[in-house]
Amino acid sequence: MTRNLSEPIAALAALRAEMNDRGIADFFASDSRRFASFHVELDDLLFDFSKHRLDRTILARLIDLARAAGLEERRAALFSGANVNPTEGRAALHVALRNMDGTPIHTGGADVMPAVLAERRKMLAFAESVRGGTLKSATGEAFTDVVNIGIGGSDLGPAMAAQALSPFLAPHLKLHFVANVDGADLADRLRNLALERTLFIICSKTFTTLETMTNASAARTAVAQKLGEAAIATHFCAVSTAPKEVAGFGIGEDRRFLFWDWVGGRYSIWSSIGLSLAIGIGAANFEEFLRGGAAIDRHFREASLEANVPVLMALIGIWYRNFWNYAGHAVIPYDQRLARFPAYLQQLEMESNGKSVDLAGERVASATGALLFGEPGTNAQHAFFQLFHQGTEIVPVDFLVAARPTAADAHQHDLLVANCLAQSEALMRGRSQEEVEARMRAQGVREEEIEALAPHKTFPGNRPSSTFLFRQLTPRTLGQLIALYEHKVFVQSVVWNIDPFDQWGVELGKELALRLAPLVADPAAALEKLDSSTAGLIAHRRRLNF
């Protein structure tokens, strides 16, 4: 379709100029029902977007921008299995992985759902056999430890979800995750493990990923030395799109789990890449996780753009990135078990939309993506919230909090929720110098001290945030949260006209690492063809190491 974004962009730029003297608190002062008008409820999940520098007119123009970009057509293409990843010539059908009723989804003229459902059944049956202890190790014992070896989405996804859902994990099983090619990562995991009761899951799309296969080979050697070569077939399983390579490692067909090239790594937690999670939380809970994602898929497809949570998330982000020039975005979960959720979203958002070339191969016309980061509250409050409240950079924030705790103290959770709500209010409201001075006078502070300290205790406010409030962190809720951010990323990619499903930016470093590896390992290798910095660093490393 033909894209003509000039009119909505011009309208939004004009509205942006009018906002300079209007703060978020002003919206609340002039509209006592602002919250009622600026929140959406999905089941027991509430999305509050009232603390933003926007009104209904701005929101309407943002919706115009999305429609002019062809969002509705591109959304239909995503769900229909069309080629929405043109640089790799593929569909992006992670939505099929959480399709629970088998409704046909076609790509390349074939319905993918029979294969998806069959692989899911196979994976979950295997997971239950490990979890229930019917699958035995080479020594005839039940497995007590599961080590997931992967990197990127093959590690971040299951590792994040396993921590988030730790109250649902089987108490007799421990899950471990290894990603870094640094040998310390694997060594630290293996140090206290009984290999005779340890199952290894190798997660690699191509089964050639350098970091994953290096760690897999080291784990294989450790098992062979301890239990014998014949134990490899019992203690290893794999998730890959490359069954021949998996077979070559010594893993039998019954322990090979497939996914497909139309599943990007950062979207693969819904597939057999989630095997370690399924072992930990069980098949029924894993299916609830899938249902949570599927519920958001339905909402994204069916809700009007004006009440569509991922659409609103995306457009608010575009409002700040492209019209306010805010480069950062923070995700702050007020839940210690969601500690890895910001890291998971870093890959999802920054690898997907960290692009400077559009679908036509031309330089993009505007900024894309945001620098995403986050830590759990209240830890983050004592780290980088100083910049949020008083720094020169404005960072929009997503707060995530459950109404009630899961396997945690209720009184402490009340305090946690209070902290979350207080931070969003403080960011929005701030505190003027006049208010600071009045408070200090009421406390009996001397005037000269007030004059010296008041500027330092002033909060400018007007810092935007969204809040996601849900009943409890369950498998279904986690599935909902992940899917919301997935579709947010997609909507933004449509407006920016970029491909969110490729990641060519990671390739160059991999190629150079392969070229440099023999030079780093061989102290006699010539370095003349390298740039002076790289050559100098390798030479100094040789002096330190050999």
Residue 413 CA to residue 378 CA, distance in Å, equals: 11
435 is catalytic: no
Q: Is the pLDDT of residue 217 over 70?
A: yes
pLDDT, the chain, mean: 96
For residue 72, CA distances in Å to 108, 116, 301 come to 22, 26, 9
Q: Is the pLDDT of residue 301 over 90?
A: yes
Q: Which candidate in 72, 306, 507, 510 is catalytic?
A: 510
* Residue in the block written with tokens 């074939």: 110
Q: Which candidate in 7, 382, 447, 540 is catalytic?
A: 382
Q: What angle do CA 422, 426, 429 make, to 5 degrees?
A: 135
Residue 187 CA to residue 218 CA, distance in Å, equals: 9
DSSP state of 343: H
- Residue 3 confidence (pLDDT): 87
Residue 200 CA to residue 130 CA, distance in Å, equals: 12
| 47: amino acid identity, one letter | F
Q: Is the pLDDT of residue 255 over 80?
A: yes
Domain ranges of the chain: 38-68+303-421+467-502, 94-287, 430-462, 506-545
**Per-position b or e across 208-243, b if 16+ CB within 10 A of its CB:** ebebbbbbbebbbebbbeebeeebbebbbbbbbbbe
Judged by DSSP in three states, 198 sits in strand
User: What is the secondary structure of 168-197 as a DSSP string?
Assistant: GS-TT-EEEEE--SSHHHHHHHHTT--GGG
Residue 292 CA to residue 78 CA, distance in Å, equals: 19
Surface-to-core class of residue 367, CB atoms within 10 Å of its CB (0-12 exposed, 13-18 middle, 19+ buried): middle
Q: Which candidate in 287, 351, 375, 486 is catalytic?
A: 351
- Identify the H or E element spanning 234: helix 232-235
Residue 380 CA to residue 67 CA, distance in Å, equals: 37
382 is catalytic: yes
pLDDT confidence tier of residue 1, bands split at 50, 70 and 90: low
- Identify the H or E element spanning 481: helix 475-496
Contacts of 193 (CB under 8 A, 6+ apart): 145, 147, 176
Q: Distance between alpha carbon 499 and the CA centroid of its chain, in Å?
A: 17
Q: Is the pLDDT of residue 2 over 90?
A: no
Residue 423 CA to residue 416 CA, distance in Å, equals: 11
- Read off the pLDDT of each residue in 57-66 and give the average, rounded to a whole number: 98
Instruction: Specify the pTM.
Output: 0.97
**Per-position b or e across 427-447, b if 16+ CB within 10 A of its CB:** bbbbeeeeebbeebeeeeeee
119 is catalytic: no
Q: 399 near 465, Cβ under 8 Å?
A: yes
For residue 256, CA distances in Å to 13, 501, 523 come to 53, 25, 40
Q: Is the pLDDT of residue 184 over 70?
A: yes
CATH of 506-545, one of 3.90.1720, 1.10.10, 1.10.1390, 1.10.287: 1.10.1390
Give tens-digit pLDDT for 388-431: 999 999 999 999 999 999 999 999 999 999 999 999 999 999 99
Give tens-digit pLDDT for 377-391: 999 999 999 999 999
CATH of 38-68+303-421+467-502, one of 1.10.10.10, 3.40.50.10490, 3.20.20.60, 3.40.190.10: 3.40.50.10490
> What is the architecture, at CATH level 2, of domain 94-287?
3-Layer(aba) Sandwich (3.40)
Residue 80 CA to residue 409 CA, distance in Å, equals: 45
Residue 292 CA to residue 480 CA, distance in Å, equals: 5
User: What is the secondary structure of 107-152 as a DSSP string?
Assistant: ETTEE-HHHHHHHHHHHHHHHHHHHHT-SB-TTSPBP-EEEEE--T
Strand stretches in 415-528, DSSP E:
465-470
Q: Could you tell me where the DSSP H helices lie in 447-474? A: 447-453
Contacts of 146 (CB under 8 A, 6+ apart): 130, 173, 174, 175, 176, 198, 199, 200, 201, 276, 279, 280
Give tens-digit pLDDT for 96-143: 999 999 999 999 899 999 999 999 999 999 999 999 999 999 999 999
**38-68+303-421+467-502 and 94-287: identical CATH topology:** yes
Give tens-digit pLDDT for 483-534: 999 999 999 999 999 999 999 998 899 899 999 999 999 999 999 999 999 9
The fraction of the chain above a pLDDT of 70, given in percent, is 100
- Residue 65 confidence (pLDDT): 98
Residue 156 CA to residue 143 CA, distance in Å, equals: 23
Give tens-digit pLDDT for 19-38: 988 999 999 999 999 999 99
Residue 66 CA to residue 86 CA, distance in Å, equals: 20
Judged by DSSP in three states, 363 sits in strand
Q: 388 near 463, Cβ under 8 Å?
A: yes
Cis-peptide, bond into residue 209, ω within 30° of zero? no
- Number of neighbours of residue 172 by Cβ within 10 angstroms: 10
